[in-house]
Structure 1
Amino acid sequence: MKKFLMITCFFFGGMAAAQAQQTSPVWPGCEDSEDKAACFNEKLSAHVREHYEYPMKNNEYIRAQVKVSFDVNEKGEVVVKSVEGPKPEVNKAAREMLEKIPDMKPGTLNGKPDSRNFTTTYKF
């Protein structure tokens, strides 16, 4: 029983020490928000609605689903990693929209600026 108690103490003590303090990037305008991650998601959705420009061909919008991946680096800059979809015109428009994301306060890991990756799918 004594060994079990010691093992349990080491296990839970090690887990507590191993948990890192981590924060999300802070989008401009979310600095005073209680839930900065939710605010980030809201601002990103608004940014997509406001800045995505549908490409056209023969007076019709070109639509497609794209998977995008971008980082918010240690300086708070957005770096587009990939835009993957079946229509090059939509991929290009999605990349241009992502490149317009404003610089922000970077996320942190144990108090130091840290790069964060975001991957999502959009249907344009």
Structure 2
Amino acid sequence: MEPKKNPQLDLRRNSLLYFFVGMTLVLLMTYLALEWKTYYQDDSWDVGELKVDDQLIEDATILKIKLPEPPKPKIQTPPKIEIKDDEDDIIETFIEPNDVDQDTKVAQVEDVAVAEDDIPEEIPFILIENAPIFPGCENEKDEKTKRECFQEQMLKHIRKNFRYPEVAQEMGLEGRVSVIFTVQTDGSIGNIRLRGPHESLESEAARIISKLPRLTPGKQRGTAVKVPYSIPITFKLN
């Protein structure tokens, strides 16, 4: 015969109820734990209630600073007014009018002084009215062709008299020498200025320019003037 269980002692009878009750308690405890707030005890103290020993209280030192007295204003002495006696009557000088009228005499032409033309002593080659003329260019028809002929003859003169310095060849010197010279009022060459990479090249350029023939001087308004001219001479080894 099988034993029968007492339905009053069956533990699973109210298990679902116990489960919900337990879950509710757990949720309640979790909520309380999350919402629980704590406050720190206020340890601050009131400074106004602090009692300080009288011996620790020091009197503030009072400094008395004597400021300098402001400068006294300068009183300017009023100018002394002197009353002079009346002067004698002054005779005024009569100024005659110089207006031109029918009685005015006309000056003679010979008596009129003519101012001389203010022509500069030196005028650049590109600005002068009549540029210097190289020998052989006198028969050119106009000023433009004379200038072109001058430059062509200068190049021919340089190629004809060009000689490479031996010292420069041995040293392998090359470069350009800038030459500036002035055609004087008598057609001679003067005031030669040179700038190049070496003295030997500058000396050769000066020698070439010194062999220039006498030129026809440049003229400004018919007056001979000094004319500076510049030209480069290039030294290049083959």
Please confirm whether the aligned pair reaches a TM-score higher than 0.5, indicating the same fold: yes
How big is each residue's C-alpha offset from its partner over 1:74-118, in whole Å with a ceiling of 9 and x where there is no partner? 000011421111111000000000000100110100001111001
Task: Give the distance between the partners of 1:65 and 1:44, measured in 2 at CA.
Answer: 16
Give the residue type in structure 2 aligned to 1:33. E
Q: Which of 213, 220, 234 is the matching residue for 1:109? A: 220
Change (3 A) 1:58 1:22: closer
- The secondary structure found in structure 2 opposite 1:95 is helix
Tell me which of the two structures has the higher relative contact order, counting C-alpha pairs closer than 8 angstroms and 6 or more residues apart. Answer: 1
Task: Give the distance between the partners of 2:175 and 2:134, measured in 1 at CA.
Answer: 27
Aligned to 1:33: 140
Task: Give the distance between the partners of 1:58 and 1:31, measured in 2 at CA.
Answer: 38
Aligned to 2:182: 71
Corresponding position: 1:96 with 2:207: yes
Q: Does the 8 Å contact 1:80/1:98 carry over to 2?
A: no
Question: Shift of the alpha carbon at 1:121?
Answer: 2.1
Q: Does the 8 Å contact 1:70/1:79 carry over to 2?
A: yes
Aligned to 1:3: none
How big is each residue's C-alpha offset from its partner over 1:28-77, in whole Å with a ceiling of 9 and x where there is no partner? 01110121101000000000100121101386464321111001110000
- The secondary structure found in structure 1 opposite 2:216 is coil
Q: Which has the higher helix share?
A: 1
Larger Rg over CA atoms: 2
Give ranges in structure 1 of 5+ residues lacking alignment. Answer: 1-19
Give the residue type in structure 1 aligned to 2:176. Q
- C-alpha RMSD of matched pairs (Å): 2.0
Q: Which of 177, 197, 213 is the matching residue for 1:86? A: 197
Aligned to 1:47: 157
The two structures have a TM-score, normalised by structure 1, of 0.77
Task: Give the distance between the partners of 2:158 and 2:223, measured in 1 at CA.
Answer: 29
The two structures have a TM-score, normalised by structure 2, of 0.41
* Runs of 4+ off more than 6 Å: none
Q: Does the 8 Å contact 1:80/1:99 carry over to 2?
A: no
Q: Does the 8 Å contact 1:70/1:82 carry over to 2?
A: yes
Give the residue type in structure 2 aligned to 1:88. E
- The secondary structure found in structure 2 opposite 1:102 is coil
Task: Give the distance between the partners of 2:164 and 2:174, measured in 1 at CA.
Answer: 8
Give ranges in structure 2 of 5+ residues lacking alignment. Answer: 1-126
Change (3 A) 1:58 1:90: closer
Task: Give the distance between the partners of 1:21 and 1:64, measured in 2 at CA.
Answer: 31
- The secondary structure found in structure 2 opposite 1:101 is coil
